[in-house]
């Protein structure tokens, strides 16, 4: 058995490519001493959402096959036997297929990405005389693997609660209503905000996209300063040092530290924010004139009852 480990800088994954497995020979006990057939697997191409492997069987091959395991870490079940691979008798795989060899010298298989970082590929072949090959394996590591979905970066309009909605808790009259915030992919798999919350307070939050339920989550960490942890539930900066007045940012939950989670809808492989799934974002003003910080009023607030819509997609 040959084992290779490949690290790819972009995202990969897998999807089944089915083929008929009729005509597979039964292993022949008279094949002792004969040269075994072979099938080689190589990584041919990759992108951030798919990759291609090339299978090359030897001339004496009748059928060849592959099975693929996917995982979050470099841990797999025992490698199956060649016979189980070519007869598709392996369970628990992400993808598997048995292929009847024709005139081709090699065959390319395109595999689509899922939310797993590791993909182990096992291939085997059987000759016309029923002689089985060794199992060849290859492992591909793709950090942050994800499906073929693109988040639509751009300017989003959020309809925040108004002063009238907040009542006596509002910092002052005339606040609230729609404001614009830019949400974009700052780096592969890293999302961030740009602009002023409620049109006033600049704090670039960093988030992550969950492709399993198409949500974009901001947990209060600040872009470029993620190591300091969440800023939700804490004072951020001064509004007026002479009073003094300062502003604080909160997320959801009773403690104000729960993440803000946006729900996205996917159309034509593009994900667009359409609502707040859970959590909230709140900016409060605090007065420190007494020597300790006391709540003065809510400047801005939105939650899952607020509307969110794409105003302008990034070019």
- Residue range 224-280, pLDDT digits in tens: 999 999 999 999 999 999 999 999 999 999 999 999 999 999 999 999 999 999 999
Rounded distance between C-alpha atoms, residue 30 and residue 103, angstroms: 27
Contact 164, 172 (CB under 8 A): no
Tokens at 203, concatenated: 């704090």
Is the peptide bond between 42 and the residue preceding it cis, with omega within 30 degrees of 0?
Answer: no
- So what's the pLDDT on residue 147? 86
pLDDT at 76: 66
Ranges under pLDDT 70 in the chain = 1-31, 76-77
Give the position of tokens 């059987």. 126
Kind of pairing between the strands at 2-7 and 136-141: parallel
Q: Which of 273, 271, 300, 269 is nearest to 284 (CA)?
A: 300
- 163's enclosing H/E stretch is helix 163-166
Q: What is the dihedral of CA 270, 275, 279, 280, to 10 degrees?
A: 120
Element (H, E) at 5: strand 2-7
Distances (CA, A) of 38 to 109, 124, 131, 162, 314: 18, 7, 10, 70, 50
Please tell me whether the peptide bond between 103 and the residue prior to it is cis, using omega within 30 degrees of 0.
no
What is the model's pLDDT at position 148? 85
Closest CA to 18 of 128, 79, 139, 100: 100
Q: What CATH topology corresponds to 2-141?
A: Immunoglobulin-like (2.60.40)
Domain boundaries, the chain: 2-141, 150-313
Res 18: pLDDT: 30
């Amino acid at each position: 058995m040959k084992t290779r480990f490949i690290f790819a800088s972009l995202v990969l994954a897998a999807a089944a490519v089915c083929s008929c497995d009729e005509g597979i020979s039964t292993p022949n006990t008279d094949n002792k001493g004969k040269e075994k057939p072979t099938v080689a697997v190589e990584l041919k191409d990759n992108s951030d959402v798919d990759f291609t492997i090339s299978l090359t069987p030897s001339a004496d091959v009748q059928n060849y096959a592959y099975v693929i395991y996917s995982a979050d870490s470099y841990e797999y079940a025992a490698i199956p036997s060649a016979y189980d691979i070519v007869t598709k008798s392996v369970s628990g795989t992400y993808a598997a297929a048995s292929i009847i060899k024709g005139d081709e010298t090699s065959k390319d298989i395109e595999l689509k990405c899922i939310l797993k970082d590791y993909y182990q590929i096992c291939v085997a072949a059987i000759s016309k005389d029923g002689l089985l090959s060794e199992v060849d394996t290859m492992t591909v590591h793709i950090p942050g693997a994800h499906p073929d979905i693109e988040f639509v970066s751009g300017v989003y309009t959020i309809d925040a609660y108004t002063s009238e909605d907040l009542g006596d808790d509002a910092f002052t009259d005339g606040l609230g209503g729609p404001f614009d915030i830019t949400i974009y992919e700052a780096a592969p798999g890293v999302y961030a905000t740009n602009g002023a919350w409620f049109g006033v307070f600049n704090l670039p939050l960093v988030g992550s996209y969950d492709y399993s339920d198409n949500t974009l989550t901001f947990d209060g960490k600040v872009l470029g300063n993620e190591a300091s942890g969440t800023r939700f539930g804490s004072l951020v900066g001064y509004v007026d040092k002479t009073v003094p007045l300062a502003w604080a940012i909160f997320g959801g939950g009773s403690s104000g530290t729960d993440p803000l989670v946006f729900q996205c809808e996917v159309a034509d492989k593009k994900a667009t924010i359409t609502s707040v799934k859970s959590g909230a974002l709140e900016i409060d003003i605090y007065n420190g004139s007494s020597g300790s910080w006391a709540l003065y009023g809510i400047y801005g607030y939105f939650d899952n009852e607020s509307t969110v819509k794409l105003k302008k997609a990034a070019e």
